[in-house]
C-alpha cells in the first residue's frame, strides 16, 4: 500500500507548448487568422499590399542615377522595357545640393553644416538632461549668438554686442530694483537693451571692426534656400517661440490687467489670422510702410512672423498645462512663502510644461512643416526650388522624384521630433511612480 | 481748409518719397550690383542651373543692364518673385527692375505706376490638345473641359474667347503649370491653355510630344517686357535703351563674336554710335561710351539670346514669329540710335 496513492506524487516534466501556439505560427494564428472573418480581412489586406508594392517597387528600382535629362531617363527606362515607367534619379544627383543648401556658396557650406552639428551639441544638455553636464548649458546660451553669425557671417563684434544687450538688461534690473521697485526695474531692463540694440550696436560694431577687423565672409539672405532655409526658419522660430509662449501664457493668467489684456489680444489676434496672411504681410505690406531704401531682410521678416505665429499657439498649449494643475499646487507654493517668480519657476512651470509636452511638440512639428509656405512669397525653400528645377528644360515634367526626396527629408526630421517627445514623456512619467 | 493741409502734407510726403527713390542709377552704382526681380522658375525665361546661376531669356535682359551700368554681367542679385509679390517688390524698391514675363497692360502701366520700357517677347495665349481628340481649331472646342491657371489674365481671356465665339466650356481650375501638365496628361481636361511659349515648353517635356498639337489660334496679346518704377525717367531710359541696343545689334549684325572687331570702327555710323566709337550716346545716358558694347557682349544680341534660351535649337523650340526683326516680318523694331 505504501507505494499507492490517489494523487500524483511527482511533477510531470515540462512539455513544449503546442506548435500552433508559439513562434511564428502561433503569432500568425492569434493575430491574423483568428477567425473566418479576420482571415478574409487578412487576405484582402495582403492583396492590397502586394498590389501597391508590386506597382511602386519597379518604379522605384530604376537605374537612372547618371541621366542628364528627363529624356535620357526615359530612354534608359524604355530600353529596360518597363511597363510602369521608372523614376528619374538624375535630377536628385544633379540638384541634391541645391535642394539642401539653396544658393549658399559652395566653399562656405561647412558653415551651415557646422551650425547644424553645434545645434545638436547645444541641444544635448537641454534634451537629455541626465546624460550631459549642466555646464554645457553655457554653450547653449552662446550658441544663440554664434549660430546667426555662422550663417550670415560678418564681423564677430555684432553678435557679441547683441549678447552684451542682455547683460545690460540684467544689470539694469539688478542695480535699479532696490531703488525704483520691481516693476519699474523690469520695464527698464526691457527698454535699455532694446535701445542698445536699435541705436548703439551699429556704430560701435563698425568702430570695433575698424580697429580689429575679425570676421567671416558675409552671406546674404537671398542665397539661403532649400532644406537649410526650412530648418533655419524652423529652429529659430521654435527656440524663440517657446520662450515667448511661456511669457504669453503667464501673461494671460496674470492679475495685472494691462499685461493680461495685451497677452489675450496678441494671442487671439495671431490665432485668428492664417499664417499665410502673416507671410504676405511680411513680404509685401511691411515694405510699403517702411521708408524707401530701408533694407529689412526678407528672411528675418519671415522668421519674425513665424515666431509670433508659433508663440501664440505655444502660449495656449502651455495655458492648457497651467489650467490642468490642481489648485493645491498654487496654494502650496503660496503657503511655502515663495514669491511669484519662484513659485512659477520651481513649482508651477515644471509641472505645467511636462503636461504640455505632446502639445508643444506637435505645434513644433506643425510649424516646421509650415515653413514650406514661404515658397508662396517667392522664397526658394525645397518646395519653391522644385518649381525652379522644373523650369530647367532638362528636368521639365519631373514631379514625384523631387517631392519624394523632400518628403523623406521632412519625414526624418518630424519623425525624430515625435519619437523624442514620446521618450521624454515616458522618462518624465517615472517621476510619479 | 483742414483737408487741403492734409493733402498738402501728403503731396510733400509723396515728393519726398519720390525724391528718395529717384536716383536708381546712383543706388545701383553705390551698391555695386543690380537687383533684378525674376521669375522663380519658367522654362527658358528664368531658372537657376545646377550651380545656382540664373539663366534664361528674361535673365539676359538684367545681365545686359548690369553690364551696361556696372561693367559686369554677373553683378546681378536675382530676387525670385511670384505673380502675387512681383509688383510690390518693384514698387517698394526691393528690386531695381522687374524682368519677369510681365504683360504690358494699361492698368499696370497707369494705375500701378510702372514704366514698361519695351517688349522683349510678344506672346499670346494658345491651346494644346491631344491629337486623338481630332480638333484642328480652338473654335471646335465646344463643351470641352479646359485646364486653366486661376487668378491670371489667361482666365479672363478664355472667358472672352468662348463668349465671342458663342461656345461653352467647363473650366478645371489648377494652381501651377506643373499641376496643369499632370492633369492634362491624366486626361482630367481636354485642353490646357496658357501662353504659347509656356505651351511649347510643356509639350517639349511630354514623353510623346508628337501626340499633342498646339492649336493655331492665339486668343490674346501678351507683350512681355521689363518694367521699372514710375518717376525715375533716367533709369527707365537706361533700361529701355539697353534693350533697344540688343535689338538694334541684331538688326545691324553685331554679334558677340564680331563685336571686338566692329568696335575698332566701321563704315556704318549707326554701328559706330551704338558701340561708342562715334557720338556721345553713353554720356547722355549718364554712362560711359562703351555701355552698349558691354551690354551686347554680356549674352549676345537679341537674336543670340533668343536662340540660346528659347529658340529652335533648344528643347522649347520656339520660332521667331512675331519676335523676328521688322525686316523679317516680325515686330522687333528698335528706334534709331541718333
The rounded percent of chain B whose pLDDT value lies above 90 is: 64
The answer on pLDDT for A277 being more than 70 is yes
**Which string of DSSP letters, residue by residue, matches B245-284?**
HHHHHHHTT--TTTHHHHTT--S-HHHHHHHTSSS-HHHH
A9-18, A387-396, B42-51: least confident range: A9-18
Chain B residue with Cα closest to A399: B178
Query: Which residues 262-301 of chain A have a CB within 8 Å of chain B?
Result: 280, 283-284, 287-288, 290-293, 298
pLDDT at B15 > cutoff 80: no
Cβ of A397 within 8 Å of Cβ of B181? The answer is yes
> A65 by DSSP, 3-state: which?
coil
**What secondary structure does DSSP assign to A228-257, as a single string?**
HHHHHHHHHHHHHHHHHHHHHHHHHH-SSH
Q: How far apart are CA A381 and CA A98, in angstroms?
A: 10
pLDDT exceeds 60 at position B21: no
At A2, is the pLDDT very low, low, confident or very high (cuts 50, 70, 90)? low
Q: Which of A381-395, B235-249, B270-284 shows the highest mean pLDDT?
A: B235-249
Positions of E strands within B50-190: 54-55, 76-81, 97-98, 114-116, 121-123, 125-130, 144-149, 169-174
Q: Name the helix (H) or strand (E) containing A288.
A: helix A286-289
pLDDT at A175: 83
Pair B266, B213: CB distance under 8 Å:
no
> Rounded to an integer, what distance in angstroms lies between the CA atom of residue A76 and that of residue A88?
9
Predicted confidence at residue B4, as pLDDT, reads: 41
Residue B66, number of CB atoms within 10 A of its CB: 27
- Write down the domain spans for chain A: 30-60, 65-104+225-433
Look at B178 and A380 and tell me if their CB atoms are within 8 Å. Answer: no
Q: Say yes or no: A378 contacts chain B, CB-CB below 8 A.
A: yes
Q: Residue B35: phi, psi to the nearest 5?
A: -95, 120
- What is the chain B residue with the closest CA to A387? B41
pLDDT tops 50 at residue B9: no
Say if B263 is an interface residue toward chain A (CB within 8 Å): no
**Chain centroid, CA A286 distance in Å:** 26
Answer whether residue B5 shows pLDDT above 70: no
pLDDT higher than threshold 60 for residue B172? yes
The CATH number for A65-104+225-433, chosen from 2.20.25.240, 3.40.718.10, 2.40.50.140, 1.10.3720.10, is 1.10.3720.10
The whole-number pLDDT of residue A431 equals 55
Asked whether residue B329 carries a pLDDT value surpassing 70, the answer given is yes
Q: Look at residue B8 in the predicted model and tell me its pLDDT.
A: 39
Of the candidates B337, B215, B317, the residue with the CA atom closest to the CA atom of residue B271: B337
The secondary structure element, H or E, covering residue A363 is helix A349-370
Selecting from A103, A292, A378 the residue whose C-beta is nearest the C-beta of B85 gives A378
Is residue A291 scored above 80 in pLDDT?
A: no
C-alpha cell at A254: 496674470
More confident residue, A213 or B123: B123
Q: What is the pLDDT of residue A394?
A: 87
> Is there a contact between A393 and B201 if contact means CB atoms under 8 Å apart?
yes
Question: Which residues in A lie closer than 8 A to residue B93 (C-beta atoms)?
Answer: 287, 292-293
Query: What is the band of B177 on the pLDDT scale with cuts at 50, 70, 90?
Result: confident
State residue A293's pLDDT score: 61
- Comparison of pLDDT for A104 and A25, the residue scoring more: A104
Q: Which residues of B touch A102 (CB under 8 A)?
A: 52
Mean local confidence (pLDDT), A27-49: 90
| Mean model confidence pLDDT for chain B | 88
pLDDT at A314: 94
Task: Please tell me the predicted confidence (pLDDT) of residue B288.
Answer: 93
Examine the pLDDT at B36 and tell me if it is beyond 60.
Answer: yes
Residue A51 DSSP class:
H
Q: How far is A104 from chain B (nearest CA, A)?
A: 9
Q: Which residues of B touch A291 (CB under 8 A)?
A: 20
Do residues B229 and B113 make contact, with C-beta atoms less than 8 angstroms apart?
Answer: yes
Is the pLDDT at B2 greater than 70? The verdict is no
More confident residue, A79 or B246: B246
pLDDT confidence of residue B17: 43
How many Å apart are CA B258 and CA B317, to the nearest integer?
Answer: 26
> Mean of the pLDDT values across residues A380-407?
90
Res. B209 pLDDT band, cuts 50 70 90: confident
**DSSP 3-state percent helix, strand, coil across chain A (nearest 5):** 75, 0, 25
Write out pLDDT tens, residues A356-378: 888 898 899 999 999 999 988 88
Q: How many CB atoms lie within 10 A of CB A39?
A: 12
Cross-chain residue pair B205–A397, CB shorter than 8 Å: yes
Any A CB within 8 A of B205 CB:
yes
Residue B19 pLDDT grade (very low, low, confident, very high; cuts 50, 70, 90): very low
Task: Please say whether the dihedral angle defined by the alpha carbons of residues B328, B330, B332 and B336, taken in this order, is positive or negative.
Answer: positive
Residue of chain A minimizing CA distance to B76:
A222
The whole-model pTM stands at: 0.85
Helix boundaries (H) for A254-274: 257-271
**Interface A-B: count of C-beta contacts within 8 A:** 106
Residue B206 vs residue A245, higher pLDDT: A245
Span A123-134, average pLDDT = 81
Give the three-class secondary structure for A422. Answer: helix
Res. A19 pLDDT band, cuts 50 70 90: confident
β-bridge mates for residue B42, sequence order: B46
CB contact under 8 A, B47 and A391: yes
Confidence (pLDDT) at B20: 45
What mean pLDDT do residues B115-121 have? Answer: 95
Kindly provide the ipTM of the predicted complex, given to two decimals. 0.82
What are B204's three cell numbers?
517639349
Residue A266, CB-side half-sphere exposure with 13 Å CA sphere = 24
Amino acid at each position: 500500500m505504501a507505494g499507492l496513492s490517489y494523487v500524483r506524487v511527482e511533477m510531470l516534466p515540462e512539455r513544449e507548448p503546442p506548435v500552433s501556439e508559439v513562434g511564428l505560427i502561433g503569432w500568425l494564428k492569434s493575430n491574423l487568422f483568428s477567425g473566418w472573418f479576420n482571415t478574409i480581412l487578412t487576405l484582402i489586406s495582403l492583396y492590397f499590399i502586394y498590389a501597391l508594392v508590386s506597382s511602386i517597387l519597379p518604379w522605384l528600382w530604376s537605374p537612372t542615377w547618371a541621366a542628364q535629362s528627363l529624356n535620357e531617363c526615359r530612354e534608359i527606362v524604355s530600353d529596360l522595357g518597363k511597363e510602369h515607367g521608372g523614376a528619374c534619379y538624375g535630377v536628385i544627383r544633379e540638384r541634391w545640393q541645391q535642394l539642401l543648401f539653396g544658393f549658399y556658396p559652395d566653399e562656405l557650406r561647412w558653415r551651415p553644416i557646422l551650425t547644424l552639428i553645434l545645434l545638436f551639441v547645444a541641444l544635448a544638455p537641454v534634451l537629455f538632461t541626465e546624460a550631459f553636464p549642466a555646464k554645457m548649458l553655457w554653450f547653449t546660451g552662446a550658441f544663440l549668438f554664434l549660430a546667426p553669425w555662422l550663417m550670415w557671417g560678418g564681423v564677430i563684434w555684432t553678435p557679441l554686442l547683441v549678447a552684451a544687450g542682455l547683460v545690460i538688461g540684467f544689470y539694469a534690473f539688478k542695480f535699479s530694483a532696490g531703488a525704483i521697485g520691481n516693476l519699474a526695474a523690469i520695464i527698464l531692463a526691457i527698454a535699455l537693451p532694446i535701445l542698445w540694440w536699435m541705436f548703439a550696436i551699429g556704430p560701435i560694431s563698425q568702430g570695433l571692426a575698424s580697429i580689429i577687423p575679425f570676421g567671416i565672409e558675409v552671406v546674404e539672405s537671398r542665397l539661403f534656400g532649400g532644406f537649410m532655409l526650412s530648418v533655419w526658419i524652423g529652429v529659430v522660430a521654435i527656440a524663440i517661440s517657446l520662450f515667448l509662449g511661456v511669457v504669453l501664457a503667464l501673461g494671460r493668467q496674470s492679475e495685472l490687467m494691462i499685461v493680461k489684456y495685451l497677452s489675450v489680444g496678441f494671442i487671439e489676434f495671431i490665432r485668428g489670422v492664417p499664417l499665410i496672411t502673416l507671410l504676405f504681410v511680411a513680404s509685401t505690406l511691411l515694405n510699403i510702410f517702411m521708408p524707401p531704401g530701408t533694407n529689412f531682410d526678407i528672411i528675418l521678416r519671415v522668421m519674425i512672423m513665424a515666431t509670433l505665429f508659433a508663440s501664440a499657439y505655444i502660449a495656449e498649449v502651455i495655458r492648457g498645462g497651467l489650467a490642468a494643475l490642481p489648485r493645491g499646487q498654487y496654494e502650496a507654493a503660496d503657503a511655502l512663502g515663495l514669491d511669484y517668480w519662484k513659485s512659477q519657476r520651481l513649482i508651477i512651470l515644471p509641472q505645467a510644461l511636462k503636461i504640455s509636452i505632446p502639445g508643444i511638440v506637435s505645434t513644433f512639428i506643425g510649424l516646421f512643416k509650415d515653413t514650406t509656405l514661404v515658397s508662396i512669397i517667392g522664397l526658394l525653400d525645397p518646395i519653391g526650388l522644385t518649381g525652379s528645377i522644373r523650369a530647367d528644360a532638362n528636368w521639365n515634367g519631373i514631379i514625384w522624384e523631387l517631392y519624394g526626396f523632400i518628403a523623406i527629408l521632412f519625414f526624418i526630421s518630424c519623425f525624430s521630433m515625435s519619437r523624442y517627445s514620446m521618450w521624454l514623456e515616458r522618462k518624465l512619467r517615472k517621476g510619479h511612480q | 481748409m483742414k483737408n487741403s493741409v492734409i493733402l498738402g502734407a501728403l503731396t510733400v510726403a509723396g515728393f519726398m518719397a519720390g525724391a528718395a527713390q529717384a536716383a536708381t542709377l546712383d543706388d545701383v552704382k553705390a551698391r555695386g550690383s543690380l537687383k533684378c526681380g525674376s521669375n522663380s522658375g519658367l522654362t527658358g525665361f528664368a531658372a537657376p542651373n545646377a550651380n545656382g546661376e540664373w539663366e534664361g531669356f528674361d535673365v539676359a535682359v538684367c545681365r545686359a543692364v548690369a553690364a551696361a551700368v556696372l561693367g559686369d554681367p554677373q553683378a546681378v542679385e536675382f530676387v525670385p518673385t511670384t505673380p502675387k509679390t512681383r509688383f510690390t517688390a518693384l514698387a517698394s524698391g526691393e528690386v531695381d527692375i522687374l524682368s519677369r514675363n510681365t504683360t504690358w497692360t494699361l492698368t499696370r502701366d497707369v494705375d500701378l505706376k510702372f514704366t514698361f520700357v519695351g517688349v522683349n517677347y510678344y506672346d499670346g495665349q494658345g491651346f494644346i490638345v491631344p491629337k486623338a481628340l481630332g480638333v484642328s481649331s480652338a473654335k471646335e472646342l465646344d463643351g470641352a473641359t479646359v485646364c486653366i491657371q486661376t487668378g491670371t489674365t489667361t482666365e479672363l481671356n478664355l472667358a472672352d474667347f468662348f463668349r465671342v465665339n458663342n461656345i461653352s466650356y467647363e473650366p478645371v481650375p489648377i494652381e501651377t503649370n506643373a499641376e496643369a501638365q499632370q492633369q492634362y496628361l491624366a486626361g482630367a481636361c481636354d485642353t490646357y491653355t496658357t501662353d504659347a511659349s509656356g505651351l511649347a515648353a510643356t509639350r517639349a517635356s511630354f514623353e510623346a510630344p508628337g501626340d499633342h498639337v498646339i492649336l493655331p489660334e492665339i486668343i490674346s496679346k501678351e507683350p512681355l517686357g521689363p518694367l521699372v518704377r514710375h518717376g525715375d525717367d533716367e533709369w527707365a531710359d537706361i533700361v529701355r535703351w539697353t534693350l533697344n541696343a540688343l535689338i538694334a545689334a541684331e538688326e545691324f549684325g553685331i554679334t558677340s563674336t564680331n563685336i571686338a572687331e566692329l568696335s575698332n570702327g566701321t563704315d556704318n555710323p549707326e554701328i559706330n554710335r551704338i558701340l561708342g566709337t562715334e557720338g556721345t550716346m553713353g554720356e547722355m545716358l549718364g554712362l560711359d561710351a562703351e555701355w552698349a558694347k558691354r551690354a551686347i557682349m554680356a549674352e549676345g544680341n537679341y537674336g543670340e539670346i533668343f536662340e540660346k534660351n528659347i529658340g529652335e535649337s533648344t528643347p522649347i523650340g520656339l520660332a521667331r514669329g512675331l519676335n523676328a526683326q521688322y525686316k523679317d516680318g516680325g515686330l522687333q523694331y528698335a528706334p534709331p540710335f541718333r
